[in-house]
Amino acid sequence: MERTRFFRRPVVWIILVILGAVVLSQLFTAGPSYHRVDTSVALDQLNKGGIDKVVFQDKEQTLQIDLKDKAKFGDTNTDRIEAQFPYEVGGQVWNEVLEAKSANRITGPADTKVSSDSIWVSLLVNLLPIALLVLLLLFFMSQMQGGGSRVLNFGKSKAKMITKDTPKTTFADVAGAEEAVEELHEIKDFLQNPAKYQALGAKIPKGVLLFGPPGTGKTLLARAVAGEAGVPFYSISGSDFVEMFVGVGASRVRDLFEQAKANAPAIVFVDEIDAVGRHRGAGMGGGHDEREQTLNQLLVEMDGFDTKGGVILIAATNRPDILDPALLRPGRFDRQIPVDAPDMEGRKAILRVHGKGKPFTPDVDLDAVARRTPGFSGADLANVINESALLTARKDQRAITNDSLEESIDRVIAGPQRRTRVMSDQEKKITAYHEGGHALVAWALPHAAPVHKVTILSRGRSLGHTLVLPTEDKYTQTRAEMIDTLAYALGGRAAEELVFHEPTTGAGNDIEKATQLARAMITQYGMSSKLGAIKYGTSGDEPFLGRNMGHERDYSDSVAAEIDGEMRALIELAHDEAWEILVEYRDVLDSMVLELMEKETLSTADMARICARVVKRPPLAPYNGFGKRMPSTEPPVLTPAEKEKLKAQATADGISVGGASNNSDGIH
């Protein structure tokens, strides 16, 4: 079918005719072949004689000689020779021909020939421009009639319509985003049962914005809506609207919503809407922007929906802060659904979804994997499962093991192991002390997360790493916890200074993170008693100017000096704490380094054995920035669950529980 349709195209037949004409012209104009010789050889032959015929071709600057008998020219015996001469000696060559003719050394004719192009070639050259114009005209006509034009349909939408034949993704394939699924379930019900809501006077939402970090499942949720809704679903990327031609984006927006309205109820999904939905008027020149025209048309289309039309726009972005306020107002995006990184239960559900159908050894506990992956997005967890399957196949094993899962987590966090990187014994020892310093400081600090693993195996850009994992998901941090994080970050640097008496470049990333955290504590979170609860500096990036050009300092030079001083004080406080821990437990640090040099990786059990005598340090530098505000001496109120826990603990310790104080049960 496709071959028959191909040969029906007039363009194909025209090309075939032109090629045939060229081939025929070459066949008809091809003459006998001549052996090419130097001009001096041809002139010498004219002097010798024995020539039957001579042809002097003026245009090609060649002299063709037909001999009566074959002669040897180099390694070739032939009776036809040809020489090409320079234009300047053409007259001299012709005089030699005339002289040979008059001396009867040429028995046949001696002609001059001015060759002309083949009639077919001349016809082809003359008709080629006309043929190209005809081809171009036929092409435009076929495009106009066929409707699939890429030339004339610049303004047509590039949206892909998801049909029933497309492999479906359903809400059952989505895990770890229960709130978002619940909201989108309601959208699905709006489309399938609009009368139920219209009877109560409710209006169908016009737009739903999914926003959150990359890899959290925004596009997956949209695909699930497409698989569940049972209505036409149009999918397009924000970048598909914008072209180099002015007005194309707005035209595509109009065409997209015309298609959706014609097939209502329908869903339109725009992925990465920040490509067209950024703040208007943010360009450097301040002039009109093609993006702005596209955004204006999008705003008009969203606000012009028929309330009973059943067309809903779903959009996804990981930069909601740069979207135009007019796009986010109610009446356009009525619902804004955050899609964040999953919590513990969400990670468990995601791992079960991606682990479905994959063989695991009996000792594999996906819940333990979820506990080891705080902060991982859905895409990260999917990558962990996939990497573990690939590692298992690489080892020719038939089931995924705990070791494969552990290795895949390390690969996602720090990159693949650099087996070809060879370090000297001295560098390996420095790395062991560096990582041991991190681990020992984290083990001794009261607010640091528990140490899960210490390794000196090189991965990615790092020579080793220490992995600490919180026991539960945390969404806020206290000042004391952040100071402990600073001390943990500087533990490696402190160990280098203590043992080797000078720092190395290995602490560069640690210092960068510690500096960022200290600056945030002072300028964003108001954790300096000297500077108070004031935010210093602008944190929002201009949508077109970039991170640095859009930043402005809104404080004086003297305040900047105070900020630097407070940052230095925090860093020094944490650095001193790490130093004191390492000095106090130097023997523990040395034991840890010896085992690291031998095993290369230490587990939680190894750390517990090595650090058995390490005692948790008291909290560092309590906050005293209250000024005249005196904190309350009363403890926080206890919840019923906390009271029951205290009672159970007291009973276990053999303590009787008596009367109550002003806000909690008293323990006597």
Cβ atoms of 539 and 547 within 8 Å: the answer is: no
218 is an annotated ligand-binding site residue: yes
What own/partner pairs with CB < 8 Å and gap ≥ 24 does 651-654 have? none
* DSSP per-residue codes, 65-114: EEEEEEEEETTEEEEEEEEE--GGGHHHHHHHHHHHHHTTSB-S-EEEE-
Report d(CA 76, CA 312) in Å as an integer. Answer: 84
216 labeled part of a ligand binding site: yes
**Which pair of structure tokens corresponds to residue 297?**
């048309």
Nearby residues of 557 by Cβ (< 8 Å), 6 or more positions away: none
501 labeled binding residue: no
Query: What are the φ/ψ torsions at residue 263 (nearest 5 degrees)?
Result: -115, 20
Please indicate if the annotation marks 668 as binding a ligand: no
Token digits of residue 464: 């080793």
CB 482, CB 521: distance < 8 Å: yes
Cα distance between residue 418 and residue 441, in whole Å: 27
Q: Is 453 assigned to a binding site?
A: no
Instruction: Confirm or deny that 213 is annotated as ligand binding.
Output: yes
215 is in an annotated binding site: yes
Tokens of 343: 């919590």
Q: Is 435 annotated as catalytic?
A: yes
Record the tokens describing residue 158, joined without a space.
């590039």
Whole-angstrom Cα Rg for the chain = 41
Backbone angles phi, psi at 225, to 5 degrees: -60, -40
Q: What is the DSSP letter of 245?
A: S
- Token pair belonging to 635: 């403890």
Q: Is 465 annotated as a binding residue?
A: no
Q: Which of 292, 301, 387, 435 is catalytic?
A: 435
Tell me phi and psi for residue 266, to 5 degrees: -150, 165
User: Which pair of structure tokens corresponds to residue 68?
Assistant: 């009566």
Spatial distance between the Cα atoms of 122 and 379, rounded to a whole number of angstroms? 65
Distance between CA atoms of 226 and 247, rounded to whole angstroms?
Answer: 30
Q: Could you list the beta-strand ranges (E) of 179-331.
A: 207-211, 233-237, 266-271, 311-317
478 is in an annotated binding site: no
Which residue numbers belong to the known binding site for ATP?
212-219
Which residue numbers belong to the known binding site?
212-219, 434, 438, 510
Which residue numbers belong to the known binding site for Zn(2+)?
434, 438, 510
So which residues are the catalytic ones? 435
